[in-house]
């Protein structure tokens, strides 16, 4: 499929077929995409809680949607897989040094060479800008996780897998249910993936987007 065809195929799935499951090979592809997704200064401030078992998805629904977001519960329990996107609660020195060590071990540079120091300095420059000057570090980290969201949705469609991003969840309750804050993470949003049900009304509706001449300015 062309990139345009992939985007035309993608839509927000409103009902999943609980009998259909994503293959292990396809799911590995999607995990690879999430791991390889872009982030500002390679900060990678994310963690993914992957729910595959019925028990795990029921647990998510009971804590995260069954109350005021009950309309989203079937999108959790009927999906093949659910990803809870989490943001790190901090970018401390230990984590930044871990990133630098990982980049060195992956061959991007030699540890403690000039380029290593430049990379570390540039990353800390932007992080400290958001931490101290703009005072929006958590919001900035959340933005990086949303980049990952987009990568996953595009990749899923390329594999003929259906998906829906979900902000209608209770992140505070999910933090508590899965002990996320104690692990240094905060729930941000979810993505449900699988295959559309035959009665999903949204599957047959035409896609609606603003016209190109309204949203592009070409200079």
Residue 87 and residue 142 in contact, taking contact as beta carbons nearer than 8 Å? yes
Give me the DSSP letters along 117-154.
HHHHHHHHHHHHIIIIIS--HHHHHHHHHHHHHHHHHH
Q: d(Cα 141, Cα 152) in Å, to the nearest integer? A: 17
> Which one is catalytic: 31, 68, 75, 135?
75
What residues does 189 pair with on adjacent strands? 85
182 is catalytic: no
> Which one is catalytic: 68, 110, 135, 167?
167
Other Cβ atoms within 10 Å of 193 Cβ, number: 23
Other Cβ atoms within 10 Å of 63 Cβ, number: 19
110 is catalytic: no
75 is catalytic: yes
What residues does 88 pair with on adjacent strands? 185
User: Based on the number of CB atoms within 10 Å of its own CB, is 52 exposed (0-12), middle (13-18) or buried (19 or more)?
Assistant: middle
Angle between helices 137-158 and 24-36 (to 10 degrees): 150
Q: What are the phi and psi torsion angles at 44 (to 5°)? A: 45, 55
Q: What are the catalytic residues? A: 14, 75, 167
């Amino acid at each position: 499929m062309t990139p345009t065809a992939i985007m035309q195929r993608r839509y927000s799935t409103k009902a999943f077929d609980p009998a259909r499951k994503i293959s292990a090979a396809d799911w590995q592809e999607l995990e690879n995409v999430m791991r390889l997704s872009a982030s500002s200064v390679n900060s990678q401030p994310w963690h993914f809680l992957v729910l595959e078992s019925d028990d795990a998805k029921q647990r998510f629904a009971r804590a995260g949607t069954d109350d005021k977001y009950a309309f989203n519960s079937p999108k959790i329990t009927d999906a093949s897989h659910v990803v809870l996107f989490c943001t790190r609660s901090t970018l401390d020195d230990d984590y930044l040094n871990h990133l630098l060590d990982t980049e060195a071990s992956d061959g991007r540079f030699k540890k403690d060479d000039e380029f290593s120091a430049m990379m570390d300095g540039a990353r800390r420059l932007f992080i400290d800008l958001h931490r101290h000057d703009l005072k929006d570090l958590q919001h900035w980290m959340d933005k990086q996780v949303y980049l990952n969201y987009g990568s996953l949705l595009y990749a899923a469609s390329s594999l003929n897998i259906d998906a829906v991003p979900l902000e209608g969840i209770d992140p505070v309750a999910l933090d508590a249910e899965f002990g996320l804050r104690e692990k240094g993470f905060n729930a941000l949003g979810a993505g449900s993936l699988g295959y559309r049900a035959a009665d999903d009304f949204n599957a047959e509706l035409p896609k609606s987007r603003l016209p190109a001449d309204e949203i592009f300015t070409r200079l």
